[in-house]
Structure 1
Amino acid sequence: MERASVRPFVLGICGAQGSGKSTLSDALAGHMRAAGVPTSVLSIDDLYRTHAERAALARDVHPLFAVRGVPGTHDVGLGLDILDTLASGLPARLPRFDKAQDDRAPEADWDEAPADTRLLILEGWCVGARPQADDALAEPVNDLERLEDGAGRWRRTVNRALAGDYQALFGRIDMLVLLAAPGFEAVRDWRIEQEHGLARGAAPGASGVMSDAEVERFIRFYERLTRHILDEMPGRANLVIRLRKDRTPCSIVPARRGR
C-alpha cells in the first residue's frame, strides 16, 4: 500500500532578535495542537552549522563566518530535507542548536515532527528574506563591516548565500508573517534581555553565553539584513504585526489586495 502524503502547510514567521517570534510560534503551536491539528515548530536557528563547520568557513572564506547568524552559517539542505521528508508522509527529526554551547545539540536531544504534521511553523530572524541589490552592498552599515570587512567580501558572500539555497527553502513558505520591530535600535535591548535569560538557564561556564558588550558586537552581524528586512518585507508579507519597543503590537496589517 502506498503511503499517503499530504504536504504540511508552512507558516513562516520572521522577526528581529528578541521580537517574540519563538514565544508566538510555541503559543500558536500549542493552540493548534489543542484544536486537533498536528503542528511542529522549526527555528532557522536550529539549522546553524556546527561550531567546527563555521570554524572551517572562517578559515577558508572569511573570519567573520565563525560567528553564527547570517546566511551561509545555516545548513539549509537539512531544512529542505525536513520539508521533503514530511511531504513524503514520514516523520522528520528536527535538529536543535545549543546557543549556550554555540554548537548543534546531540541528536539524542532533537525533537521529531510526526508523520501526520499538517502545520509546520518555520520561524527565525531572516525567514523569508530576499537578497539585496549588489550596489546596496558597497557601503558598510556599521563599524564591524567598516573595520573587519572593508573590501565587502563577507557581506557579498552572505548576500550570495541568501540568493541561493535560502530562496529554495523560503519558497516552501505558504504564508509569511513579519513581526516588525520599531527600528534596529530596539533590537539591542531585546537581544541583551534575551541573553540574560539564556545565562540564567545555562550550565555554569557555558561558553556561548555573552556579556552585554559581546551582544553589542554580535548584533552588528545582523544589522544589515535586519534593516533590509524592515524596509523591504512589509510590502509583500501576508501579515505585518508592527511592534512597540515593549513588544506589544501597535498595528496588524494584512496583505493588500493584488499584492
Structure 2
Amino acid sequence: MTTSLLQAVLDGTIAPADAIAQLPSETSAFDCSPAAQQQQLEHLRECYPQLQAFCAETLGWSAVNLETLWRLWLPLAEQIADLRRERDRPIIQGFLGGQGTGKTTLTQILSCLLKQWGYGVAILSIDDIYKTYGDRQQLQQVDPRLRWRGPPGTHDIATGIQVLQQVRSGSADPVLMPRFDKSLHGGMGDRIAPEPISNIDILLFEGWFVGMRPLDAAQFDTAPWPISSEDDRAFALDCNHRLQDYLPLWDLLDALVVLHPGDYRLSKQWRQEAEQKMKQQGRSGMSDAEIVVFVEYFWRALHPELFLTPLLKTADLVIEVQPDHMPGQVEKPGAAIAD
C-alpha cells in the first residue's frame, strides 16, 4: 500500500495531506509525526527525480525502491541533517557493516540526498586509509598473519585522525581525502593521490569494523568458531589489542549506524554472490573454497559474535539486513557518541 500511495504523490494524483492520512502507522526509530511525514513527502517529491537518475547512472538500478526510500533513506538523511544543524559544525557520521550489508550503497544514496538539500558531503571508507603497499609489505615481514589488508594494524590511523579532525574543525582549506586503488600490485592495492574536497558539512565514514572496541581478553577463552586453535586465539587477541589504537579515530565520530545481518554467516553467501557476478562480467573472482578461507580469516580477526553484539546496544541506529540485502527492522538503541 505504501508504495502505491507514494507513487500517487509523485504522480500528483493525491495531495500530500491526503496521503498522510492514509499512510500506515507503525513503530519506527524515526519521527513519524504528521509534521515529520509532511516534510518527508516534500523531500520525496523534490529529490526523487535526481535520485532516480543517480541510481540508474551510478548503481545501474532500473528503479528506486520507494518503500526503502520512505522507510529508511529519507528519514536517515533527515536525521543526519538534523545532527549537522544541532552541532553547528561539520559532523562525522559513521557506518559499520560487514561484507554484503550495503554500506557503500547506503552512503552513496545518503550523499545524493543530502547534497540536494545543500550540504557539502564527502564519503570516506576505512579502506581509503590502508597503509601503502610498501608499508604493508614490511608489515607482513614482521607479522605474516597480516597477509590480507583489512584487519586492525593494516591502516594508517594517524592519517585518518588528521582527516577527521580537519573536517570537524571546519577548515577553510580543502581536505585532502585519502583514496585507495584495490586493483594495483596484482590486487594487493595501494594508496593513490588524495582527492581535495572543500566545504564539507557531513563526512560519511564507513567500514567493516568502524566503531568496534576492544574486549576483555577473558572473552576469548571460549571464543566462537572458527577461532578454534591456540594460533587462532592468539591472532584474535592481537587484533583485539590493536583495536585500542583505533579508539582516537572512533572518538571523532558524532554518531554510528550499524548494518546488522540477522546471521553473520550470510556474509559468506553474499561474498559468493558478488564473486559469481564478477565472473559473469568477465572479471576474475575467487573460487568458493577461496571465499571460505577469505571470510573466515576476518571472522578470526574480529568475530561478529564478539565485537558486533555490544554495538547493537550502544549504536545510534541499528538497521537489520535481510538475506536478500533489503533493510528490515530499524532500531534506535543508543545516544550520540560524541559532542
For 2:317, which of 223, 235, 239 is the aligned residue? 239
Taking only aligned residues, the RMSD between alpha carbons, in angstroms, comes to 2.6
**Distance of aligned partners of 1:47 and 1:196 in 2 relative to their CA distance in 1, 3 Å threshold:** farther
Paired position in structure 1 for 2:288: 212
Distance in 2 (alpha carbons) for counterparts of 1:258 and 1:36: 23
Asked which structure has the greater RCO (Cα within 8 Å, sep 6+), the reply is 1
Q: For residues 72-151 of structure 1, what are the structure 2 equivalents within 5 Å?
A: 72-86=153-167, 87=169, 88-100=171-183, 101-107=187-193, 110-114=194-198, 116-139=199-222, 141-143=224-226, 145-146=227-228, 150=231
1:35-54: per-residue Cα shift (whole Å, max 9, x none)?
A: 11000000011112233322
Specify the code of the residue in structure 2 equivalent to 1:217: V
Distance in 1 (alpha carbons) for counterparts of 2:278 and 2:205: 21
- SS state of the match for residue 95, structure 1? strand
- SS state of the match for residue 63, structure 1? coil
| Gaps in structure 2 of 5+ consecutive residues | 1-87
CA offset at residue 7 of structure 1? 4.6
CA offset at residue 200 of structure 1? 6.7
Q: When you count helix as a share of all residues, which structure comes out higher?
A: 2
Specify the code of the residue in structure 2 equivalent to 1:253: E
Distance in 1 (alpha carbons) for counterparts of 2:206 and 2:172: 22
> Which of these two proteins has the greater Rg computed from alpha carbons?
2
- SS state of the match for residue 184, structure 1? coil
**Distance of aligned partners of 1:200 and 1:178 in 2 relative to their CA distance in 1, 3 Å threshold:** same
Paired position in structure 2 for 1:19: 101
Q: Normalising by structure 1, report the TM-score.
A: 0.83
Whether 2:298 is the aligned partner of 1:222: answer yes
Q: Percent same amino acid among aligned pairs?
A: 29
Distance in 2 (alpha carbons) for counterparts of 1:258 and 1:173: 9
CA offset at residue 71 of structure 1? 1.0
Specify the code of the residue in structure 2 equivalent to 1:174: D
Specify the code of the residue in structure 1 equivalent to 2:255: M
Residue pair 1:12, 1:176 contacting (<8 A) in 2 also: yes
| Gaps in structure 1 of 5+ consecutive residues | 1-5
Whether 2:119 is the aligned partner of 1:37: answer yes
CA offset at residue 188 of structure 1? 0.4
Q: Normalising by structure 2, report the TM-score.
A: 0.65
**Distance of aligned partners of 1:258 and 1:169 in 2 relative to their CA distance in 1, 3 Å threshold:** closer
Distance in 2 (alpha carbons) for counterparts of 1:192 and 1:226: 19
CA offset at residue 126 of structure 1? 0.4
- SS state of the match for residue 95, structure 2? strand
**Distance of aligned partners of 1:257 and 1:103 in 2 relative to their CA distance in 1, 3 Å threshold:** closer
For 1:178, which of 242, 247, 258 is the aligned residue? 258
Where in structure 1 do 4 or more consecutive aligned residues deviate above 6 Å?
none
